[in-house]
Every structure is written in structure tokens, then in C-alpha cells.
Structure 1
Amino acid sequence: MKIYKSKVALACMAAMISAQAIAEDGNLLGRLGDANNKAWFEGASIRIKELNISTVTKGDGSFRFNALPPGDYTLEIRYLGAPKSEHKVRILDGETLQQRFSLGLNEPKLDELIVYGQRAGQANALNMQRSADNLKSIVSSDAIGQFPDQNAAEALQRLPGLSIERDQGEGRFVGIRGIDPNLNNVTINGMNIPSPEAGVRSVALDVIPSELIEGLEVTKSVTSDMDADAIGGSVEVKSLSAFDRAGRSASLTVQASRNELRSETSPKVSGSYTEVMDFAGLQDSLGVAVALSWFDRDFGSDNIESNGDDEIEQRFYQINRKRIGGALNLDFRPDFDNQYYLRSLYSRFSDDEYRQANAFTFDGDDSEVERSSKDRYEKQEILSFTAGGEHQLQQWHLSYQLGYAESSEDEPEALYYKFKGEGFAINSDFQGQIPAIEQDNAAKSLANYEVDEISFEDNFSEDNELSFKLDISHDFELAGHSAQLKFGGKYRSREKQTNANIFIYDGDFDELDAGQFAASTPDWGLGDFGEGLNRQALRHYFSANRSNLELAALDSELESKGASYQSDEDILAAYLMGKIDLDNLRLVAGLRYEQTDFATHGQRVELIEDEQSGEENVVNSPWQGERNYHHLLPSLNMRYEFSDQLIGRFAYTQTIARPKFEDSAAFQIIESKTEENDEGGFDTEREAEVGNPELKPFESTNLDLSLEYYPGDIGVLSAGYFYKDIDNFVILADVSHLEAWQGYEEVTQPINGESAKVQGVELSWVKSFDNGLLIAANATLTDSEAITLLDGERFETSLPNQSDKVGNLTFGYENEQWSLRLTLSHKSENLEEIDGDMLRMEDAHQQLDFSGKYYFSPQMHLYFNAINLNDEPYYHYFDRRSVNAQYEEYGRTFELGFNWTL
């Protein structure tokens, strides 16, 4: 009997083992939203308790677990702002279970606050930040709508460690931890965006209207599957996708704004529409998202600036800026294993600027005044297309993307006038931020001036990039721990060219009456400006008389040829990266290889003025250069979860930044003058300004360490330390002492200098209270050291544009009808450049903005924004704050608008 029972037991065991051997693993495909399916939640942590494996929800709320043994499991869902919840699921043999989940919210009002308003923006961003493998700061589309920000740059200034460079009071370029924007990477929908501006790599994010953005993501510690050209960090702009919103959605915003300084009213209209629909017989398989934005803004600024010694200039700006943007995104998802997408974004930014200026040179009886005008229309365009797909092949995940982007800057028919006058009674003590100028009535009348020079420019620059990338990942188990191996590559081909056509007319103006161009006195608020210049009259005269004007042919050729060049850059990258979860520790480590082939060609342009031979001409000869280099760059990101509330991070990365195109371009502008000396002989003086195709890229070693405490609800308290050691820092230097430039008096050229170092601390606190109050505060304290060589002298300074204190403070309140925010942004003084023997400093800037909304219903609200409430000017000074370099004021701007959403 015992033998019989033993045989039966063995047979049962064999059957069980056999059944398990042939059992097929299953999959779980989930989607997390609110109870009413009004919104999906991104960045939520989803964990299978029995297997101790976890993942994070995507933008459409989806998540996936592959290769799960059949059985019963407990899903643990964590999302800041909602209580932790658990859900039971059963995975059957070979089945892919598809199921929707909702957050465990106990109060209906809390549910609404999580889905809409300030809480929504904070919750979404903090959850994505909390679950990220590396150091990130995120702005969601909901958060963008809570600030009076006109573009992507201004939306990013609210994040820890980020600051913006302004132009005419509007945010343009974004600095990450004080690093030059040229050393950051900007992508739109994963596609590297070339810069529309000539000579630079930095992308002015004011060309992208905030209405076209679904989210902004700033990565401060890169992983090996990311582009390496991110010394400061990487900015990812994400446009909206239909699958990121629940069901059909639509929005419409109508706004009017008024600039206090110029008393101009400006209209704005924007809208979006998304829908998920059936396609080719497949249910909810096609997503369509469309967004449009149009903004026509009239404003201006009043400016006064000096050289700190003997020159002061008054400037009056009248500006019209138009932003037109559109996005069309298509997603096709035939099943849960395959998806395809097409993303497009177009943005056109035009800047129509008319500037009138008075430049005073104080030199006793030889004092003079130069009056000038700048009539310039500039159009910048960015067009981006990306197409790709993602496929889940059992344990393997394959993704690929083909992208094309082009940017351009067109400056057609720019017209500049210069008028000169002498013998006026003028005086100034050069004291204070706004130095006073004394001038007699004769200096204020244009009839007492003569036309000195007219210049006409037609400039165009274009930057385009074609790229392809492939990423392959494999999920597996290693010694009982969840792990992933990821590898892939990317190819980028970039071409940037700049073409300048400059015509200088500098003679035959004796019979021209300058008084015919006079206009009424501009409303310049910084002192006495005198008569204005009639824009239409200046333009009409030039158009009618251009053929009769005397062209300075040599100067025109020198300026045009010297500013025209083309650069080509091919980058081939490959990487290998691994990720493993060791209980509460996640390690992400890898290597990235990047090969760069760079070539540039332009002109060697020499202006020769020889009194001895009587020769006076311009000699042009082609000049080209190339440089090939490669880097092997390691990265390590560690994330340790001490508890549900406390997370620690450490990162060691190496990154690079390729030199600016204007620094590495092949151009030489040489001026050679041969004049008779006192002894009757002849001396030749030569000066040059040249590019440097041999420049090495910046190389940086980066360390990051941080702690993040999430006390519950919607909030975080974080502190971090960062350190960057940057080699091959590019500086401008006089290289006339080198053998290649023997006989030259001065040769200005960018060269690789010594190292620069940056270290700092980032602090942040965000808290949403149940009574509707919201507080957000962040501060970044930095210290930097850089070496600058000027006229052979070695200067130890801070990094240019590096503020040692950057911070934001926000107070907000929200209930069912009101949403209010008051925000203060602060940026301390920083070194701009060394100007001669003086330090030119940018003064501290702090700006107060207000945003208020009144909700008629969850679908409709009225809003009011007040920008620069404290009327903060833009101020630069030399050495001491009392020595003006530039003072500019913009006034307050008020916006009133209506928003409707479906």
C-alpha cells in the first residue's frame, strides 16, 4: 500500500511539473485614470508585490508587465495626491490581461482637484520626477497654464536650477545651473532641434508658443541612451498626443493683452483638438491631435547705455512680434504590441523692430552726437517631423525613429541710417543707473545733422538636421532581480549655413537735408530724447534713390564675405546600457560612443589699403577646415528608495558640448593698412578676426547627489549637490604671438582655454494643502571658476552668465471657483564679459507675476495675468553698480482672456 501511494504521489508530482513546464507566461496591460475617465495619470508607480517588480505609467496612463507566470497577484498603485491602493489580478496561462484602474480617491472634490487646476499640474510633474531613473525636473501642460508664460523658455524658469536670458523683457534662452545655453541640448518629440540663429547652437525657446506644449522635461543627469551634448542638461519639448487625453478633447483660448509702456493692445487666439477613433475596423486605434496658436504683440522698451567712460547712447524701441504655431500628431495603435506615430510641429516667430538712437561722445570741443535708426524685420521658423514606431516582441522591445528638422532666420531688407552732428553743447556726469544728459536745443533738432552712412542688409541663415535612431531593450531576471539590457544607436547629419549681403553707402550726402526725416519726439521715459526719425520717410528715400547712392564697395564686400560660411557635422553614436533593481536600489549604468566628423568652409577676406603702391582692394580666397574626434562616455545613475517617502539619488556622468558654429567656422577677416611714417618710410599694420576649425569640444565630468522627501499628498522637499569639471573651455584670445600670425598687431580667435568648474546646491519645496493653499519655493546656490585670457593677461573669474543665486517663490490658492498664483523669480548678479579693463556685470533681476482664474464651470474660465508687476528693469553696469552699462525698462503687461475646454 505504501508503495502504491508513493507511486501515485510521484505521478502527481510529475504531472504538476509537466504542467508547469508547458504553461505559458502571461502579460498584464493596464491603464490608470480617474474614476470618471476624464484624465489619465502619468508617472504613477505600479508594483507587483509578490514578484517585487515595478514599472511607471506613460503619458496615456498605460503600463505593462511581460512574462508573468500564471497566478494571482496584488498590484500596488502609488500616486502623489491620492492614497495608496491595491488591486487583485489573475494572470491565466498564455493570456494578456487588459484592465483599467482608477486612483483610490475618497472625496469627489479631491478627485476634481487632482484632474484639473494647480493640483493637477503639481501632481503630474512630481510623480514623473519621483519615478524617474535619473535627475529630472518637469513642467506639465497643466502647470504651464497656471503661469502667465508666453513661451517654453518662460515656463521653464519656474524649475529649480533654471534661469532665462531675456530679450526685450521676454524669456528667450534657458540656462541650466548657470551653464551657457549653447552647452545644452534641446529636442522636440525626441528630435534634436537646430538653431535658427546664425552662428549658435542654442535654441531660443521663445519661438515655441506654450499652447503647443504637452510637457517640458529637463534632464540634469543623462543616461547612455541620450545624446551626450548636454553639459548643462537636456530640454525635451513634448507636443500633445490624442492618447494622452481621455476621449475627445478640445480647447479654445481668446486673449487681449496690453503693454503699459507703449499703451498697445495685442490679440491672441489658440486652440487644440484631440480624438481617438476607430480605423480600419480596429476600435480606438487612431489618435489625431491638432493645436494652433496665433499671437500678435505690440510693445517696446526704453534704453540708455554707456561705455562707462565717454559715450552714452539713448535708445527707443518699437516692436511687433508675431508667433504662429501649429502641431499635427497622428498615432496608430492596431494592438497592444505595436504602435506607430507621426509628429509634426511648425513655429514661426517674427520680430519687426524699429529703433531710434542718440549716441553722445563727450570730448570737450570735439564732442559729437550720432543719431541713428534701425529698421529691421526678422523671421525665424522651426519645422520638425518625426515618424517612428514601437513593438513588443515577447521579452524584447524595439523602437525606432526617423526625424527631420529645419530652422531658418531670414532678415530681408534691413535698413540702417546714421546722422552726425558737431559743435553742440552736451555734458554728463555719468553717474547713476540712468545718467542724465545735458544738451542744447540745437542737438535736439535733426536739421542740424548730416547723413553719414546708410547700410542695407539682406541676411539669411539655415540649419537643418536629419537623424535616425534605433533602441532595443530586453527584460529578464538576473539572480532573482528584475533587469533590463538596452542597446542601440543614432545617426545625425547636420548642415548650417549663413549668407550675408551687406551694402554700405557712405558718401555723396552733401545735398541731402536731414531735416526732411524728422518726426515727433518719441515718448521716451528716461530723459529728453529730441526729435524722432520718420520710419516711412527713411525707407521711401532709400528705395527711390538707392541707385544714385555711393557704395563703399570694399567695406561691403569685406563685411559680406567675412560673415558667410557653411559647416557640416555628422555624428554616429552607439550605446550599451543596463538596468537592475536590487530590492530598493535601482542601478542604471552604460557606455556611449560618439564619433563626430566636422567640416567647414568659408572665405579668407583681406582688405588691403596701401598708400605706397596705391592699391586698395579686397582679396578673397576659399578657406576650409575639418576635424574628426570621438568620445567614449560612461554614465551611472543610482536611485535608492529608503521608504515610500524618501528617495536618494547619485549620478556620475561624462558629457560633451561641441563648439558654437561661429567659433569653429572657417572665416578670416583681415585688415591690412600700409601708411607713410614720420621718417618717410612705410609701415604696415595688420589685424584679423578669425574662426578656429581646430577647436576641441567641451568635455565635462559631472557628479550629482540628492535627497527627495515626499511627505504625502502633493508635495516634495528636496536637496541636491552638483559638481561639474569642464575641460577645453572656449575663450576669445589674442593669438598674434603665434608663429602663424607673425607680423600681425592683433588677431582675435576662439581657443581652448583651461578648465572651468561649477558646483552648487539645489533646494526645493512644493506643498499643496487640503484647504486649497499651494506653496512652491526653490533656490539654487552655485559657485564657479573659469580662466579668461585677454591681451595676454590671465583672469580668474566666474563663468559668464553664472548667477550664484537663482530662485522662485510661489503662493497659490485654489477652490472650485478660484485659482490664484503670485510668483517671484530671482536671479542674482553675474559676470557678462570682460570689456577692456572693466568687468561688465548683469545686475540682479527679480520679477513679480500674478495669475488669476475664475471658473464658471469645469469647462469655462476667465483669467487675468499681470506680468512684471514690480516694473523691474534690465540693468548692466561696469565694476560698480553706479556706473551704467545698460538700463532698459519694459513696463507692466496685463492680459485678460477666456478659456473653454471640452
Structure 2
Amino acid sequence: MKFKLSIISSACLAAMLSASAYAEPGNFVGTLSDGNKQVYFEGAQVKIKELNLTTQTRRDGTFRFNNIEPGHYTIEISYLGAAPIVKTIYIEENKTLKDQFTLTESGNTIEDIVVYGQRAGQAGALNMQRSADSIKSIVSSDAIGQFPDQNVAEALQRLPGLSIERDQGEGRFVGIRGLDPNLNNVTVNGINIPSPEAGVRSVALDVFPSELVEGLEVSKSVTSDMDADAIGGSVEIRSLSAFDRAGESASVTLQASHNQLRSDTSPKVSASYSNRYKFGNVDDVFGVAAAVSWSDRDFGSDNIESNGDDEVEQRHYKINRERLGAALNLDYRPDFNNQYYLRTLYSQFSDTEFRQANAFTFAGDDSEVERSSKDRFEEQQILSLTGGAEHQINQWLLTYQAGYSKASEDEPEALNYVFKTDGFTLNSDLLGKIPHVEQQVGVSELANYKLDEIEFANNQSNDKEYSFRFDLAKDLTFLNYPSQIKFGSKYRSREKQQATQVTFFDGDFDNIDSDMFVGGSPDWGLGEFGEGLNKHALRSFFNSNRANLEVAQLDSDIESRGESFINKEDILAAYIMGTIDIEQLRIVAGFRYEKTQFSTSGHKVELIEDEYSDINQLDVNPWQVDRDYDYLLPSLNVRYNVTENLISRFAYTQTLSRPKFEESAAFQIIESNTVKDSDGVLTTEREASVGNPELKPFESDNIDFTIEYYPGGIGVLSAGYFYKNISNFVIYADVANQPQWQGFDEVIQPINGDKATLQGIELAWVKTFENGLLLAANATFSDSEAVTLLDGKRFETSLPNQADRVGNLTVGYEDEKWNLRLTMTHKSENLEEIDGELLRMEDSHQQLDFSSKYYINQKMNLYFNAINITDQPFYNYFSERNRNAQYEEYGRTFELGFTWKM
């Protein structure tokens, strides 16, 4: 026995001595920049040839390899648009080698080729797309500056598979592959951004000025370390950092824009500054980056819409939109193993709108006309604070991040008037994009109208979220192949509050002379509008006479109490994922677990009107629901380099999207009306609109397959197929036939539908030529099927807002002095909603924009942009294209500006 122990002990000692004889591994870190070390390049592929180890440069141009045995190795760096770099290095025992690499093209420094201009934007985006582990589309900061885009939404519309929903002609919400924007996840510097708008999850990306953005990434397939609520995809907005560029940098932009429809000229100013600071003889360790953008835009639109049956409404909009955005970002990097950062982003978006409208109801001798006004100021604010760090601890990479974000929307003292008249002859065939209304002369004169109602509202929405996450990753060898194991956790706590306060005034109007509110006739380009309303006279009258006006208390209370609610959501997530490189094959796979605790509180509000019993009252009762649910979601992303220039990708993921807050909110608005007919019979009609706190999240199985060919230089030719099988799709249905609603005539409630599927292909081609020509085109062809209910029956249709065809075409030219781009975006018709028995369709939209720059030198340029050159309107129709639902014109916009960069 002692002999055996001696043998074992001797063997262990020999193993320990043998292990100690091995040399301690070393590390290698590098930085990739231009010849002047002023610009860093992200997304370059870096490889240690002998070990088949690969990585990518980060946004500050750095890369790192850990745990390398001492010896000589060959480093290979490839970046689209530049000559490859090949260099021999020597790794010493237990030391970290640092080196600097410079991109060149055909033996010349690349600074004049890829540092600025069209080619810079394309090169940066394509390199990051090529090296990504998942399926991504990317817009670099340089590319954003090459288009006449006012905000993040408009910048994203240039990418394959992306389309935008417009508000007053400006891009607002982004749809990915035709899906509802509520099914996307939006983050800023890694922090989830809440929505300032009441009741929804979708973030209106027009609140983010494009000048504050360093880059945009759209992930169409997710990995397990990403949030799972991304059926459409995930949009990451990155703001600038001082370590994105070397040394001191600054920029200033001044712009004037002119809207042709309203003949208004508006200013815009933006500026940025960044610098690094040293302490003693130590390298740059502290970085400060700041940016600010302000614009004040006056514009408007002319609108005409109908219900497809017996109503036509003319609308004239006068709008002012002011945007203020600011960012202050701090970085502290005492050494390469430790990095700390603080990211802040503030955005304020205000919208002042004065809308005048004429609404015609055709009913023979009972025809009516309403003249109305909407005078409201709306302000949205978003604040994002992010702090975190990254530590390389031996062979482990630890990252952690804490965040706070808040979004709010305030609509104080909104004032709406309604004037009515009847007894006039009206006629319209309701046909054509712009229906013509035949009317007597007196219809256009305000003196023939009586004040019918005044609505005064103070509405507010707040959405805030706290979050904390940590991630641990370690490089290792598995089955003799380079691998990585990564795991982590994330906690999010969110509260969405909607507070509605509405007061209706509907009496004591008999002695009011409508002539006192007459204003100038609006310049309405779609026909005759008649006398206008004076905004200041309307506001002044209300302020002076409010105390004497008769309040419709029950109508006011039912809307104020019924539409107010608070939703809370706590999400705890944990994940584990692994990466392995097998020759040319890279596999990233993992699982993500998410547990959600959800609560909602609101009111059950019932308005009871009983003529027989002389009852007229409002019953209000609190309503609260608590529930929780969890999911285990797998993800698989595979990348195979067929050749150096040909890459294939496959992804299978499971994702979810939680219902809109207004759909899952605890609210019920019920109206009961009891009357006695001429035969003395009592009848009661009961109708309700209710939320559904028991709604399940959308669930989706997603399959993606793409082929990308990089032919050399700056360019790519790609094709992809995608398929989504979505269950628990939310639809609105009449559930009055359910047992809990017995005795109701109609109950409209969101419920989980059967299923929906979406599939399609994405095609993209980008090519820059040595003579300065740039050509880019992309197109997405998709098809969807969804099951909904119409009048209690199953009804098959396409997904709302899903367009069968979305595409972009860009033709550009660039030399040392000029940068020119002509761009076209196209979105085919799509189903907007089911309106009664009619299908409301959004017509195809095709917009042409032009941008140009003249470089006075590398620091200064003048630019001119022309937006919506063909004056493309927005048009919706009912079932048939000549049956108007909404027609709206915005006019052309021209911009002239000057930019200085240091």
C-alpha cells in the first residue's frame, strides 16, 4: 500500500514539476488606425494564423488575444477597402505585447480614402457587418452624415428590410421586416429605452437627432446575451466616446431649412467636442466627449380624409417642432485591463400643433357640418444614464453596467373647439384620392355655426426603468478548437403610468357669437376651405370664461378615470452561451431564461343612463391584476467562411414581445343606456371597451439564412431568407358572446389570436468604384398571414403594416471636392387596419431625396439637401384605390448648411 502511494505521490510530483517547466503564457493587444493615428477602425478581422484564433477590432480600434504560448506568430488583419496587413510578432513569457497597426491601400495611407466621405461610411458599416456573430445591418456615423436624414428613424430606413412610419412627413417609427415597431427592442449604449408615448412600447426614434449618434446597429437575429423581447429585431444606438478618435476633435454645423408648402424657414445648430487627457507620463487615461443639437422647424400639411361611407373631413395643419439633444460621455482607462465609463443622453422633443378641420356628414336633409380646432402643445423627454466597467482578470473578462432611463410625454392645456351647423345642401361621391364636396356658399361662413363643445385636457405619460447587468467571459480550448464560454444576468424594473385628465364643456353657448373667432382663410392646397379660426381668440375666450362654462361632468369623468392606469414590470434574466471556431466555421449557441412579474392597476368605470328611472351616474371601482410568467429561449448563430470573400450564415432563435401597455392595462369603460320606446318597452344597450391583463406575450420561432459576398474593395452582394412563426398574436375582437359579458351588445377587447407567419427574402448590393462612383441597392420581398376575428368569425389577412416590397436605391459620386447622392426609398402598399367591414390600406410610398457636399478643405464643407423632391403625398384608401381614407401633402424641404470639423 505504501509502495502504491509512493508511486502516486511521485507521479503527482512529476506532473507538478513538469507543469512548472512550461512557460507562462503571454497576451497580445493592438490598435488599428490611419497613418496619422487620428481615426480608428472598427470591425476589422484580426487573426493569429498559426493558432486559427480570430477576433475583431472594437470601436476604439483595439483588439486583444489572451493566454498565448510564447513564440513567433503571424498576425493577419483584413479591412474592406484597404490592403491586408501581415506581420510577425513574438510573444514573451508572462508579458503583454502591444503594437500599433496602420491601414494602407495600394501602398498609400488610407486617411484620404476611408477617413471621411461616402466610402468611409460604407467601409465602416460593411466591415462591422462582415465580422458580426449574428445577422446585422449597420449604419456608421460617417454614413449618417451622407444622407439628408433629420433623425435616427430616417437614417435607419436606408438599411435592407427596414421601413419607417411617418408623422407629418417625418420618419418616426421603424419597422423591421414589416413587423409592428412595438415588436422591436431599442437600446441606447446598452440601456433599454422606454417609450414617452402613452400605452405603447415602441420608441419614436425621431426624438434622437442624428448628430448625437456615433453608430446604429440593427440585429435581425439575437444571441443569448441580448434581451429576448425582439421579434422584429433589436436597434442599438451608440453615442460618441472620446476613445472613438485620437486626440482633440470638434465639429460645428449650422443649417437653414425651407418648407415649400408653408413657406417657412427654420434654423438648426449642432456641435461636438472630444479630447483625451494624460496624467503624468501615463498614456491617455481620461476621455471627455460632448455633443449638442438644436433645431426649430416650422412646417405643416394639407389633409383630406373620409370614412368611406358618408363623411369627409378637410384638415389644415400648422406645426412647429423643436428638438434639443445633448450627450456627455466620460471614459477612464487607467490601463488596458480596466476601463470605466459614464454615458448620458438627453433628448427633448416638442410639437406645437394648430389644426383646423371641416367635417361633412352627408344625410340628405339631415346633413351636418362641423368646424373644429385642435390647439395643443406636446413635449417628450428622454433621459438615459449608463455607468459601467470592463475588467480583464487573468483569463476572465468581467463587464457590468447599471442604468436608469426615463421617458415622459406632457400635453398640458390642450384646447379643442367644435362648431356645428345644418340645413345646407351637401353632396360628394367620395371617389378619388381627393374627394370633392359640393356645398352652398354659406357653409364656408363661420357666422352660420353655433359653438357645440369645448374640450380641455391635461395628459401625461411616464415610463421609467432601472437595470443592472453583469457578464463573464473566458477564452479557452474545447476539443482543440478556440472557444469562449460566457454567462451573465440582467435585472430590469419598469413602470409605465398614463394619467388622463379631460374636461368637456357642452352648455351655456347660446349667447356666443361665432364671428368673434373668425381668422384668415387657411392656405389649403386641396380645394376651398372657407373662413378659418383664430387660434388666439379661441384661447383668450376660454381663459376668460372658463369659470362660467357648463361642465359635462359624467363624460369628463368616464374618460379621465377610464383611460388612466399604472403598469409595472420586473424582468430577471440569466443566460449561458458558448462560441467555438472549427476551422472556417464559427458557432455561437446558448440559452436565455427570462422571468417576468407583471402588475397593472386601473379602474372599472361604468356610465349608467336610465331615462325611465331618471338615473344618470358613474360607478368607479379600482381594478388590479398581478401575474408572472417565464420562458427558456434557445439561440443558435452559425457563420461559415466558404472562402475569404464568401460568408454564409444561419440562425435559429426564439424571441418574445410583451403586449402593449394599453392592451394589457387594467381598465374597463362601460356605457349602459336604458330607454322606453313608444310601446312602453324598456330596452338596455350595454357596450364596453376593456383591457386584458391576462394577455400572453407574442412568441416567435425565427429562422434566418444569408449569403454575403465581398468581391474586394468596398462592396458586398448579399441575399437572405427569413421566416417567423408567431403565436399569441394580439388582435382586437368583440367578445360580447363570452359568459363574463352576458347581456352586452358589444365588448371590444384585445385577445391572443391564433398565429401569424412572416417570410421573405432580402437582397442587397453595395459597390464603390475607384472613379468615385457609388451604387447601392436593396430590396426586401415578404409575405405574411395572420388570423383575426371580424364580426365573430375567423378572418385571414396579412399582418398590419407589413409591406410586400421595401427597397432603397442610391447613386452617388465623390472626389476630393464633391460628395453627391441621389436616393430613393420605396414601400409598397400594406394593410393598416380592419375598419368595420372595410380594409384600410396604406398606399405605396416612394420618396426621392438629394444630398450634396462641397469640401472647401478637409475641415470645412458646404452642403445642400433636397427632401421629397417629387412632393410625394401620404395616401390611405378603403379596399379600392379610388376610395379615399386619407390624403396628406407635406411639400418639399430644402436645406443649406455649413460644417466645420477639427
The answer to whether the superposition gives a TM-score over 0.5 is yes
Who is 1:627 aligned against? Answer: 627
Who is 2:549 aligned against? Answer: 549
Who is 2:794 aligned against? Answer: 794
Q: Identify the range of structure 1 (733-742 vs 681-690) with the bigger mean alpha-carbon deviation.
A: 681-690
> Distance between the aligned counterparts of 1:617 and 1:217, measured in 2?
54
Who is 2:223 aligned against? Answer: 223
Alignment of 1:103-114 (within 5 A): 103-106=103-106, 108=108, 111-114=111-114
> Distance between the aligned counterparts of 1:127 and 1:566, measured in 2?
44
SS in 2 for 1:616: strand
> Distance between the aligned counterparts of 2:512 and 2:804, measured in 1?
53
Who is 1:11 aligned against? Answer: none
**Aligned partners of 2:103 and 2:110 also within 8 Å:** no
> Distance between the aligned counterparts of 1:126 and 1:283, measured in 2?
31
Who is 1:832 aligned against? Answer: 832
**Aligned partners of 1:302 and 1:888 also within 8 Å:** yes
> Distance between the aligned counterparts of 1:733 and 1:367, measured in 2?
32
Who is 2:679 aligned against? Answer: 679
Who is 1:511 aligned against? Answer: 511
Amino acid at match of 2:338: N
**Aligned partners of 1:504 and 1:555 also within 8 Å:** yes
Amino acid at match of 2:95: E
Who is 1:745 aligned against? Answer: 745
**Aligned partners of 1:591 and 1:632 also within 8 Å:** yes
Who is 2:210 aligned against? Answer: 210
Deviation at 1:38, TM superposition (A): 2.1
> Distance between the aligned counterparts of 1:180 and 1:682, measured in 2?
45
Deviation at 1:681, TM superposition (A): 3.0
Who is 2:639 aligned against? Answer: 639
Who is 1:573 aligned against? Answer: 573
> Distance between the aligned counterparts of 2:292 and 2:319, measured in 1?
23
Alignment of 1:378-457 (within 5 A): 378-457=378-457
**Aligned partners of 1:779 and 1:807 also within 8 Å:** yes
Alignment of 1:353-392 (within 5 A): 353-392=353-392
> Distance between the aligned counterparts of 1:19 and 1:452, measured in 2?
92
SS in 1 for 2:126: helix
> Distance between the aligned counterparts of 2:731 and 2:390, measured in 1?
44
Deviation at 1:111, TM superposition (A): 3.6
Amino acid at match of 1:37: K
Deviation at 1:130, TM superposition (A): 0.1
Change (3 A) 1:739 1:281: farther
Amino acid at match of 1:756: A
> Distance between the aligned counterparts of 1:108 and 1:418, measured in 2?
70
> Distance between the aligned counterparts of 2:88 and 2:105, measured in 1?
18
Who is 1:5 aligned against? Answer: none
Amino acid at match of 1:326: A
Unaligned runs of 5+ in 1: 1-13
**Aligned partners of 2:34 and 2:40 also within 8 Å:** yes
Who is 2:235 aligned against? Answer: 235
1:861 has 2:861 as partner: yes
> Distance between the aligned counterparts of 1:452 and 1:883, measured in 2?
30
Amino acid at match of 1:160: P
Amino acid at match of 1:711: P
> Distance between the aligned counterparts of 2:306 and 2:480, measured in 1?
69
SS in 1 for 2:105: coil
**Aligned partners of 1:188 and 1:236 also within 8 Å:** yes
Alignment of 1:22-421 (within 5 A): 22-106=22-106, 108=108, 111-279=111-279, 282-421=282-421
Deviation at 1:288, TM superposition (A): 0.4
RMSD: 1.2
1:897 has 2:900 as partner: no
Deviations 1:189-230 (A, max 9, x none): 000000000000000000000000000000000000000000
> Distance between the aligned counterparts of 2:729 and 2:280, measured in 1?
56
**Aligned partners of 2:34 and 2:109 also within 8 Å:** no
> Distance between the aligned counterparts of 1:34 and 1:701, measured in 2?
43
SS in 1 for 2:254: strand
Who is 1:715 aligned against? Answer: 715
Amino acid at match of 2:305: E
Question: How many residues end up aligned between the 2 structures?
Answer: 888
> Distance between the aligned counterparts of 2:108 and 2:141, measured in 1?
23
Change (3 A) 1:335 1:110: closer
> Distance between the aligned counterparts of 2:660 and 2:709, measured in 1?
39
Normalized against structure 1, the TM-score is what? 0.98
Fraction of identical pairs, as percent: 67
Who is 1:586 aligned against? Answer: 586
SS in 1 for 2:182: helix
Q: Identify the range of structure 1 (270-279 vs 633-642) with the bigger mean alpha-carbon deviation.
A: 270-279
SS in 2 for 1:82: coil
**Aligned partners of 1:431 and 1:883 also within 8 Å:** yes
Deviations 1:103-138 (A, max 9, x none): 132354854121110000000000000000010000
Unaligned runs of 5+ in 2: 1-13
Amino acid at match of 2:835: D
Alignment of 1:800-839 (within 5 A): 800-839=800-839
**Aligned partners of 2:104 and 2:110 also within 8 Å:** no
SS in 2 for 1:656: strand
Who is 1:651 aligned against? Answer: 651
SS in 2 for 1:284: coil
> Distance between the aligned counterparts of 1:562 and 1:347, measured in 2?
30
Deviation at 1:679, TM superposition (A): 3.0
**Aligned partners of 2:181 and 2:202 also within 8 Å:** yes
SS in 2 for 1:150: coil
Alignment of 1:678-697 (within 5 A): 678-697=678-697
Who is 2:757 aligned against? Answer: 757
> Distance between the aligned counterparts of 1:222 and 1:108, measured in 2?
39
Structure 1: 4+ residue segments shifted above 2 A: 17-22, 104-111, 279-283
**Aligned partners of 1:488 and 1:574 also within 8 Å:** yes
Amino acid at match of 2:804: D
SS in 2 for 1:701: strand
> Distance between the aligned counterparts of 1:393 and 1:682, measured in 2?
80
Amino acid at match of 2:638: M
SS in 2 for 1:124: helix
**Aligned partners of 1:261 and 1:300 also within 8 Å:** yes
> Distance between the aligned counterparts of 2:635 and 2:43, measured in 1?
23
Deviation at 1:683, TM superposition (A): 1.7
Deviation at 1:312, TM superposition (A): 0.3
Deviation at 1:185, TM superposition (A): 0.2
> Distance between the aligned counterparts of 1:168 and 1:126, measured in 2?
33
**Aligned partners of 1:76 and 1:85 also within 8 Å:** yes
Normalized against structure 2, the TM-score is what? 0.98
Deviation at 1:283, TM superposition (A): 2.9
Amino acid at match of 1:673: N
Deviation at 1:874, TM superposition (A): 0.1
Deviations 1:860-893 (A, max 9, x none): 0000000000100000001111000000000000
Amino acid at match of 2:548: N
Change (3 A) 1:279 1:450: farther
SS in 1 for 2:206: helix
Deviation at 1:21, TM superposition (A): 2.4
> Distance between the aligned counterparts of 1:89 and 1:280, measured in 2?
30
**Aligned partners of 2:35 and 2:109 also within 8 Å:** no
**Aligned partners of 2:687 and 2:744 also within 8 Å:** yes
> Distance between the aligned counterparts of 2:458 and 2:560, measured in 1?
10
Deviation at 1:309, TM superposition (A): 1.1
> Distance between the aligned counterparts of 2:295 and 2:281, measured in 1?
40
**Aligned partners of 1:474 and 1:486 also within 8 Å:** yes
Who is 2:461 aligned against? Answer: 461
1:472 has 2:466 as partner: no
SS in 2 for 1:704: strand
Amino acid at match of 1:357: A
> Distance between the aligned counterparts of 2:271 and 2:512, measured in 1?
52
Who is 1:3 aligned against? Answer: none
> Distance between the aligned counterparts of 1:748 and 1:379, measured in 2?
31
